[in-house]
Structure 1
Amino acid sequence: MENITVVAPLKQPITFVLEGFYVPPGYGSLLFFLALLDFVVVLLGNGTVILIIIIDRSLHRPMFVMICNLAVCDLLGVIAVTPRFMIHFLTGQRRIAYSHAIAQAFCVHTYGVAVQTILCAMAYDRYQTYPHIGLYHSIMTSTRLIFSCALAWFIALLCIGVLFYFHIDVPLCGNIIQHVYCSNRAILKLACLSMSWSLSTSVFIVIAFSYIKILQATVTKGKADSSIRSKAFQTCASHLVVYVLFEIATTIIVLSHRFPSMSQNIKKFCSILFTIIPPAVNPIIYGLVKCGIDQSYKYKICPKEK
């Protein structure tokens, strides 16, 4: 008879060990500084955007309110991940309590879904702007604006809440998380039973539909007034850039796992790009690029035209 080894499920309190990055001797301080720099840039950039939109009443418009929500979402993703990196780089600490691990995983997944649902709401707002010129303010009322933003967050929280509800009590037979941050998938790899069920959400079709309709409307109306076509393309360009950046970052994560020979550190770095690049670049896109190209709103933070 074959000997069968039975692994007993771990009992609470469980303390996980994050595998993290391999840090060569002497490079911990440098990596800590780089992580701190990214953290400060994201905090200052998104914090400034939020503060300006809150203070300046002329920016209390649908698109800027949604930009404010996107900035809050970016802060959620960075705050959930980056401080843990800094602790790891500076002290080498890899242990994380079960409750902290679940909280980090919940925040990371919420960030990933909320970014897309908020961008979906922004696409809907742009759709109401150009195909329905002249009726925008009667369509996109304050009530509808609040509903759109609340719905974006509700869908994200509901999806992730359902995901964690089905997995929260799964018995675990290991405590070493082979990742640089806690995620639902990484924790489920430690389950005593094989867990393959997952929840995925995609708003690509909604976003694509909105911008296709915008394109159709602007091409039609642009035949009579070329300024309408130019304004539409310029205004929507920034939103599409933000969405494409996020999708590229997430695609790199998937592609990195298709190359077994790739360095583990590079794979792990690719897996955190979506919490590094979009949150750092978004404030620049909306704070600087839109300053010059969006003439449908008035930015007081932009230099006045001479």
Structure 2
Amino acid sequence: MPLPLIRTRFDAESTAADVLVDVDLTGLRAIVTGASSGLGVETARALTAAGAAVTLAVRNTSAGTAVADVVGRSTGRRPDVRHLDLADRASVAAFVAHWEAPLHLLVNNAGVVSAGLERTAEGRELQFATNHLGHHALANGLRRSLARGAAERDGARIVALSSTAHMRANVDLDDLDFTRSEYDPQIAYARAKTANSLFAVAATRRWADDGIVANAVNPGGIATGLQRNFSAAQKASLEAAEAAGVFAYKTVEQGAATTTVAAVAPEFAHTGGHYLDDCQEAYTVPNDASLADHPHGVKAWALDPDAADRLWRASEELTHPSH
């Protein structure tokens, strides 16, 4: 018998602020990647307002500094700002090398969408490299800090932002960089979002004994800067999904709620490898299920422990300094 789904008192209309009512995060140290715009800003603001010491890990430090100033004025606490380019292995390594404190919460929020094939300086397909590989390397580099944080606060958490888009495609371990097949930016994004969920499965299996759990979240449809690089085909697909009722747009505050649930809700304090949607653990659907029929589920392929293990080992090889 499968375990019952984890339920909370929050839903699709809840905001991050709702989740944090009467929650005191004083003493909690958090990193939020991609916190210079969109969901990352609201996530960082809400955590800071609840008392957390937040670091904005951003590629554009000028934008990050502006966000930190705004958050500081609104909350009375100013987040720290540090440079991080997830598509650049050296940048990830430098961030990790300069992080010395125990860490209680890592929010892998940053993400990119490309309209055509782009590659990193190392030849990796950009969406997979940024959305998955960079976060994989970051979390691995911060593992000891997370373990120290877990010892301080009875657990540490990682939140990986996935997407409904994961339902479009499983990870192709034989062609991670689209060197063998024709490039489709929507499929590339979908594979990366499936990888985000599989990361949560594998990280929890490996690190739970250290008190570290990881969960994946689908924030829902939110109009943010992420859509600025959509192609005409991507925009048309999104409009068709909206018209079909696959999703309805949320506010940024509502979109950040599911992230916040995974980050602080007691229901997810010591359990990981889950996929959350609308502030609840999502139900699993068959891999051949239609997105139109199951807009709030999670494909079985995104929770497959064997696939998660294979992806982890492949990601280790791709992010190892010797490569």
Question: Into which bin does the TM-score normalised by the smaller protein fall?
Answer: under 0.3
Instruction: Report the TM-score when normalising by structure 2.
Output: 0.26
Higher relative CO (Cα under 8 Å, sequence separation at least 6) belongs to 1
| Structure number with higher helix proportion | 1
Instruction: Report the TM-score when normalising by structure 1.
Output: 0.27
